[in-house]
Copies of this chain bind each other. A is one copy, B any other.
Amino acid sequence: MTAASTEEKRAAISEAAIKMFARKGYHGTRIADIAREAKVSYGLVYHYFKSKEEIVTFLFQRKWDLLVGVIDSIQREEVGFERQVEAVTSFLIESYRLNPELIEALVMEITRNGKFIKGRNLRLLEKALSGMESMVRSGQARGEVRTGIDPKVVSYAFFGSIESILTGFVFKTLPQDDAAVERAKQGVRDLFIQGLRPIHGDRVLAAQPA
């Protein structure tokens, strides 16, 4: 561990942190674990990061930025609501296939520990949510999405669905083979596409009050 730029080193350490957080959670991970994983002395970790918390913060910032960026760009594409839902679903579910450890870390800590759903991260999460909310709203404006449903509620339900499924992958309560992943992707997509499709006079369904 000699050369490498400061940025590369920070990246290397935060990659190690992702691995450890995914494996043992934030509280379960000691700085020494991260250092060992990064093949670095733990003193060096403090050379690059002020504290344990700064590591998570840094890690979240980069990864969430990426995630939010993708959702944002999908939202901008003018391809119709259903295509957008499909694209976002695919991207999120595929992310797990590509980088399960990262998703595990995000699922384990970001989503899972209230402490980090605060400040910046909360705002990023909200940005992702509001991206979806906008898609729904635009879809409603274009008549592609029925209007009798709250777009904010939809956005929460959508990301909740994805998160839940990813959690299922992480905790192995859902099968993770390619077919199963594909099935999950289709399931969510279909659920939201059909669930939001306008129907005849709309508002038709509204189950009668119990």
A residues contacting B by CB (< 8 A) are 25, 27-28, 82-83, 86-87, 90, 108, 111-115, 117, 122, 126, 129, 148-150, 152-154, 156-165, 167-168, 170-171, 173-174, 183-184, 186-197, 199, 205-207, 210
Structural contact, B191 and A149, CB atoms closer than 8 A = yes
Q: How far is the CA of A89 from the CA of B187 in the complex (A)?
A: 19
Quick one: given A114-B25, A126-B173, A156-B164, are A150 and B183 in contact (CB under 8 Å)? yes
Please state the number of chain copies in the assembly.
4
Q: How far is the CA of A170 from the CA of B118 in the complex (A)?
A: 12
Q: Which residue of B lies closest to A189 (CB)?
A: B207
Structural contact, B190 and A206, CB atoms closer than 8 A = yes
The residue from B114, B157, B197 contacting A164, defined by CB atoms under 8 A apart: B157
Q: Which residue of B lies closest to A188 (CB)?
A: B157
The residue from B83, B126, B174 contacting A156, defined by CB atoms under 8 A apart: B174
> A155 to nearest B CB, angstroms?
9
Quick one: given A157-B161, A171-B117, are A82 and B187 in contact (CB under 8 Å)? no
> A106 to nearest B CB, angstroms?
12
Structural contact, A25 and B195, CB atoms closer than 8 A = no
Structural contact, B114 and A187, CB atoms closer than 8 A = no
Residues of chain B within 8 A of A195, CB atoms compared: 190-196
A-B contact pairs, 29 of them (CB 8 A): A25-B115, A27-B27, A90-B210, A111-B112, A112-B112, A113-B113, A114-B171, A150-B186, A153-B165, A153-B183, A154-B191, A156-B168, A157-B160, A157-B164, A157-B187, A157-B191, A158-B161, A160-B161, A160-B162, A161-B164, A163-B164, A164-B164, A190-B205, A191-B192, A191-B196, A193-B205, A193-B207, A194-B197, A194-B205
